Amino acid sequence: MATMGKYCKAYLLKQFGQFNQWNENKEINQELTEDSVLNLQESYVGTDGIFKDENIIFDNVTDEWKDFCHNILEFEIPAL
């Protein structure tokens, strides 16, 4: 059963692609374009959908990725 996280924010794939270590999970059988909308989960995993454990497109969560998310994408998790 899919699990919904507490917070995620939508971005265009081309925004994620600005990260110099971006690489998509090729096991997902979906055609993605630069204008595809992906979600950045509170765990910093990128998904194609709102569920945090389905359609995972990017899960190489490093300090560099987190820094990119905060400083370039301006991703901030609100106090919940």
Question: How many C-beta atoms lie closer than 10 Å to residue 46's C-beta?
Answer: 26
pTM: 0.90
Is 51 among the domain residues?
yes
Is 1 among the domain residues?
no
Sequence-distant (≥ 6) Cβ neighbours of residue 59 within 8 angstroms: 25, 45, 46
State which residues form the domain around 20.
8-24+33-71
Is 61 among the domain residues?
yes
Domain count for the chain, please give it: 1
Is 3 among the domain residues?
no
- pLDDT tens-digit series, residues 13-24: 999 999 999 988
Question: How far is it, in rounded angstroms, from Cα 16 to Cα 10?
Answer: 10
Burial classification of residue 61, based on how many CB atoms lie within 10 Å of its CB (0-12 exposed, 13-18 middle, 19 or more buried): middle
Is 78 among the domain residues?
no
Strands 56-58 and 8-12: unpaired
- pLDDT tens-digit series, residues 23-75: 888 777 778 899 999 999 999 999 999 999 999 999 999 999 999 999 999 99
pLDDT at 80: 67
Is 76 among the domain residues?
no
Is 39 among the domain residues?
yes
pLDDT at 26: 75
Is 2 among the domain residues?
no
